[in-house]
Chains A and B, each alone.
Chain A
Amino acid sequence: MMKTAKGEIYRVAGPVVTVTGIRPRMYDVVFVGHLNLMGEVIQIRNDKSVIQVYEDTSGVKPGEPVTASGSPLMVELGPGLLTSIYDGIQRPLPVLNKKMGDFISRGLSEPGLDRSKKWKFESAVKKGSKVVGGSILGAVQETKNTEHRILVPPTTSGTIEDIADGKFCVEEPIGHLTDGTVLSLMHRWPMRVPRPVIDKLMPDIPLITGQRICDTLFPVAKGGTACIPGGFGTGKTVMQHQLAKWSDAEIVVYIGCGERGNEMTEVLTEFPKLKDPRTGAPLMERTVLIANTSNMPVAAREASVYTGITIAEYYRDMGYGVSLMADSTSRWAEAMREISSRLEEMPGEEGYPAYLSAKLAAFYERSGRAHLLNGKEGSITIIGAVSPAGADFSEPITQNTLRMVKVFWALDSKLAQRRHFPAINWLTSYSLYMNTLEPWFDREVSTDWKMLRMKTMELLQKEAELSEIVQLVGSDSLPEHDQLTLEIARYIREIFLQQHAYHEVDSYCSIQKQYSLLRTIHEYGAACYDALEKGVLLTDIFKMKSSGLLAKAKFELDFDHELEKVVAEMKKEFKSLGVEAM
């Protein structure tokens, strides 16, 4: 089956190369030209095959040789993925740096996993054990806190003939099946094929991101999907970084797809320094990075998303909760458009190929909480950033994505310009997981969680209505009760919704802290309304100092203690106004 065949180049037009003389299958890998540039078959017409090439094709001529590999594009799966940084076709960037210098040159294929590193393997099965695809053979300690479970490849099954403990490289045999199949620490999987599971389950646990607006108002479930559309400068990337840093996933796969090089550098220097709030280990130790920046070959950008999701599925198959961040899916779709237009395909909307929505759907459908082949349970949460052209959400990628995803975090350039971060618009965003997640919040946080959340949304809605009036007549002409509503809504916005990504304390906010902060703001609000009703002057209420203290409490390390102090101070102030609060 794995026959290699030789052919020759017929035509070169940028990254699209037409070849003759080989009879490959669709999506088989082909090596093109004297430089052996890697590519993939994307179209077959009569005796000609069209290849999209993952590297620059300058200087490549018709007539140069072509080799078909006979296999599709594979991702290497095994210990060593965590802490790695790859380009779109899983070549490790540090190794490329060592071998070709500071710039990326051509024609070097490099395996994704280090061949020489020895891993200490402990088996979990014995001679005679029956195994199926996905069964756990044993484990390797990949990083301090992550046990890497060695899986039987999904398409293999049988009875164990022999298996050994000890130190192995990824390719060395660790044992055999009775039919002679060799088992090793790694296996390969075609990136465009979803790894099989038994069935998908409904997600019912929230992914706690440590970002107040996301967790409290628009939560995403573990195994769910979310998108973050926003024009440039609205903080998409910062948001994605925040989610990658603080969400309570066991494994994070971060895909920098067609974005800035300097941003990836930031991730590379920051993640090893930051600590996972759950384990205390460096964040890098649970992270796999894929960086195919905007000026790296466009075909490899198209592949980067598949490389990422395949790695995510592999860790899910071990029974982990995985988060995948793709920044940005628009650049991925543009890569598809570019290839499609070189193939002279009939375009759909705005030049995007007609199969855009099918491709996006297939990608988001690889998420989910799943019942695995080995009986365990694992999940993949996909959070995709979208960069709408001209910040216009009616463009095809945003619209097609919204048809798939359940959570919509809409970034708003007006909020960003007012430096309200995260600039998620609370009026247009939504989460469809609210109902399924409610029991969890009820159980794990507090029974009045739902009520607080509803109250918050009502208040913000009311504020939006009132501000329209204020625009026309000024706030002084509103009734005092409404003026107070505006003030309380401002606390919600400024104290609760605004969160400082670069502040060492505020960057991450635990769910308990979110709850206490929100409850205190509402209690403070209730006391204000009470005071107003009892005849206290509005100006006196506005002059109270404790609201300012409340605003600062979230920045304190010893938050609970600080909040107690603020509440005590509030009570004192209300008392001096002649109102017994709370």
Chain B
Amino acid sequence: MTKEYHTITDIAGPLIFVEKTEPIGFGELVNIMLPDGSMKRGQVLDTSSDIVVVQVFEGTAGIDKESGVCFLGETIKLSVSLGMLGRILDGSGEPIDGGPKIVPDERMDINGSAINPWARDSESQFIQTGISTIDGLLTLVRGQKLPLFSGSGLPHNEIALQIARQAKVKGEGEEFAVVFAAMGITNEEAQYFMKDFERTGALKRAVVFLNLADDPAVERLITPRLALTAAEYLAYTHDMHILVILTDMTNYAESLREISAAREEVPGRRGYPGYMYTDLATIYERAGKIKNKKGSITQIPILSIPGDDWTHPVADLTGYITEGQIAISRELHRKGIYPPINPLPSLSRLMGRGIGEKNTRGDHRAVEQGLYAAYAEGRDLRGLVAIVGKDALSERDNRFLMFADVFEDRYIRQGRDEDRSIEQTLELGWELLATLPESALTRIDRRILEKYHPAYRKKHSK
């Protein structure tokens, strides 16, 4: 039925231009038959009665003007079914684990649709990651998108894996299913992820999409969309709670820039296209929790920010869309602290939905504020000590200085397999706050202080 055209006029970068076609739909999927018999796929970017522009996913190498072009009459769809769990697929959704093809239960458009803001649920549940800095200070909740802001050479992958391994919702035994999308990561990194999934048995409850560094860049543009389509299917059709890990969004943005340049579009900041904000939003905003649906999608995108510069467009635009960020600190990493999460520039905007009496404990907000303020003050003092020396500091200041060290050593630092419960995290927080003079804890409500501060609790128990 589908007609094969041999009317390619131009080939430029990842784009081919085809003329004299019948009407072709915008966004349609395209098969390109090469003279050597192999096939590549692409998508329509621009269509008119005169010429059709096709973006080729696997790159245009080997395509000549005599190659055949077939338009498939539909936009890109992903075959989804429960059978995807435990499978490893390539960046365009084909199995690469040697297993059989996915038997589709449904075929879904990979671009998805925007969730109606009216349908979103404002209630949520606390996700315990077992990492104190996240649980205590940057609480993650179901339906949130919370990226890791990292840089090259930092252990963001290990942290993401630890979160994936340990994430659970308090009171519900139910584990998360993980959808993992790799975009342009190295073979080595991919193996690291796969080994860990296999070692911990997490693979059984995971769907993996791999687009590696040497895979075509254009394919990267659809990889996260495939992953999120799979996630939506599992979450909203099968009531599962899904954790989506997207790594590395910086590579994704690079591909976006590459295509934009090939299309000769007007560039925005640093050559990235002007529509990058909207494009990233169509990925990130697919996280969420819907009022009358049981499942949810929580996203942890990973960004390796070039030059640790947060004003870089990828980090900047991501920060404007996501609900906070987890800052991986080079300074803490150099000190040998794992996980090197610096709470000061980090933020979780939805924290309020996941803490308090109903979710964690009544003192959670107070401990968070106390620790944050004390650590911030301690770090400020470090700067001062460098100038005036330790002896010039008051007794009170020295206590804060010490607090910052102990906080890094005991609260932030933990083992790669250490899974702390929220109670342990909160208790540890109080233990550290108790090293400070009580008069310094002005931010904490009197009633909460008297109920939870170790000094008072000892009195009660006597």
Contacts and interface: CB of A to CB of B under 8 A. Distances in A.
B321 A389 contact: no
B275 A260 contact: no
Contacts of A25: none
B49 A10 contact: yes
Given A103-B114, A347-B266, A262 B323 contact: yes
Interface stretch (B25-33, B92-100, B242-250): B25-33
Contact of B114 (A57, A296, A548): A296
A102 B111 contact: no
A529 interface: no
B290 interface: yes
Contacts of A56: 111, 113
A219 B23 CA distance: 58
Interface in A244-277: 256, 258, 260-262, 264-266, 268-269
A10 B48 contact: yes
A256 B117 CA distance: 11
B48 A351 contact: no
Interface stretch (A93-101, A154-162, A400-408): A93-101
Contacts of B109: 58
Nearest to A237: B349
B274 interface: yes
A341 B293 contact: no
Contacts of A325: none
A97 B120 contact: no
B392 A474 contact: yes
A351 B117 contact: no
Given A11-B49, A13-B26, A295 B282 contact: yes
Interface in B133-165: 143-144
Interface stretch (A59-67, A119-127, A195-203, A430-438): A59-67
Contacts of A261: 114-115, 117, 120, 285, 288
Contact of B268 (A63, A344, A350, A551): A350
Interface residues of B, number: 76
Interface stretch (B195-203, B211-219, B312-320, B416-424): B312-320
- With most chain A CB atoms within 10 A of its CB, the pick from B265, B278, B352 is B278
Contact of A232 (B49, B290, B320, B387): B320
Contacts of B313: 389-390
Interface stretch (A69-77, A171-179, A331-339): A331-339
Nearest to A85: B118
Given A61-B25, A294-B278, A389-B316, A265 B48 contact: no
B117 A93 contact: yes
Nearest to A105: B113
A419 interface: yes
B116 interface: yes
Contacts, number: 201
A351 B119 CA distance: 35
Interface string B236-256: 100000000000000000000
B118 A268 contact: yes
B140 to A, nearest CB: 13
Contact of A295 (B46, B281, B319, B325): B281
A417 B26 CA distance: 45
A2 interface: no
Interface in B11-46: 23-28, 45-46
B452 interface: no
Interface in B302-316: 310-313, 316
Secondary structure call for the A interface = mixed
A338 B275 contact: yes
Given A265-B121, A266-B122, A341 B116 contact: no
Contacts of B45: 13
Contact of B26 (A59, A102, A338): A59
B321 A269 contact: no
A59 B28 contact: yes
B277 A265 contact: no
A295 B278 contact: yes
B269 interface: yes
B267 interface: yes
Nearest to A64: B23
A320 B48 CA distance: 50
Interface in B353-377: 369, 372-373, 376
12 contacts: A11-B47, A62-B49, A97-B119, A103-B116, A256-B117, A265-B117, A265-B122, A293-B117, A294-B285, A391-B311, A476-B392, A551-B442
Going nearest first, the 5 A-B pairs with the smallest beta carbon separation are A390-B311, A11-B48, A294-B281, A232-B319, A58-B27
Interface of B: 23-28, 45-49, 74-75, 109, 111-122, 143-144, 236, 265-269, 273-275, 277-278, 281-282, 284-286, 288, 290-293, 310-313, 316-317, 319-321, 323-325, 344-345, 347, 349-350, 352, 369, 372-373, 376, 384, 387-388, 392, 442
Interface of A: 10-14, 18, 56-64, 85, 93-94, 96-97, 100-105, 231-233, 256, 258, 260-262, 264-266, 268-269, 291, 293-296, 298, 331, 334-335, 337-338, 340-341, 344, 347, 350-351, 387, 389-392, 417-419, 471-474, 476, 502, 548, 551
